[in-house]
Amino acid sequence: MTCRVVVLISGRGSNLRAIVEAGLPIEIAAVVSNRPQAAGLDYARARGIPAIALDHTSSPDRATFDTQLAGEIERFHPDLVVLAGYMRILSPAFIARFEGRLLNIHPSLLPMFPGLDTHTRALAEGVKVHGCTVHFVTDKLDHGPIIIQAAVPVRADDTPDTLAARVLAQEHRIYPLAIRWFAEGRLVNNHGRVNLKGDPTSQSVLANGG
Ligand code: GRF
């Protein structure tokens, strides 16, 4: 049975694009954005994927919006819900409803730099290695079980933008991979540590191809 995926976005949707173009054994059942102007919605529509805008600014509070969002998602009967640049904190009730089938990508090597402005903070700390993480979402923000990480070097002349671009290229590698593993039923959550079934493939990726 094909894994049905709903992707949540808020903006340009480059991760959405990487996922669509990876030729995964999945069906992207819908793309939902909390921002009607998100460029990723146009991309989805152009590909014939149902694209839904649910403007969070027209909801009185987060709980109301998230209930509406969950209802919209459920219409597509997803096996997996993927946060791909979805820039809103989700309510505990929403997370509980989808826990175990809810993934996020975060632009840092978690547990370092949860939250916003990760590239600026990484540069300010002087770290020499930075990266990105795909993880299961739990109610602790940016702290769920880690599926895969990719690391990139930090260069002396990096700006937040150059570093973000280097990390983003790796996001586009690891998110499709994590979704493939999920779709193939190969992710085993062992007390918060995620193991990959049936293959010695490493769950870490280095920018230079490691
Ligand atoms: C990515 O860097 C993602 O890690 C972060 O927001 C950005 C979204 O980019 N959460 P895009 O919309 O997928 O291009």
Nearest CA to ligand 1 atom 9: 85
Kindly list the structural domains of the chain, giving each domain's residue range(s) and its CATH number in brackets, ordered by start.
Answer: 1-98 (3.40.50.170), 105-210 (3.40.50.170)
Whether 84 lines ligand 1, by a CB cut-off of 6 Å, is yes
Per-residue pLDDT of the chain (210 residues; tens, 9 = 90+): 899 999 999 999 999 999 999 999 999 999 999 999 999 999 999 999 999 999 999 999 999 999 999 999 999 999 999 999 999 999 999 999 999 999 999 999 999 999 999 999 999 999 999 999 999 999 999 999 999 999 999 999 999 999 999 999 999 999 999 999 999 999 999 999 999 998 766 788 888 654
Residue 153: cis peptide before it, omega within 30 degrees of 0: no
**What token pair was written down for 167?**
């990390």
Strand partners, 205: 150
Cα-based distances in Å from 39 to 14, 15, 31, 178: 9, 12, 11, 24
Please give the model's pTM, rounded to 2 decimal places: 0.96
CA–CA separation, 84 and 103 (whole Å): 9
Nearest CA to ligand 1 atom 1: 85
Whether 168 lines ligand 1, by a CB cut-off of 6 Å, is yes
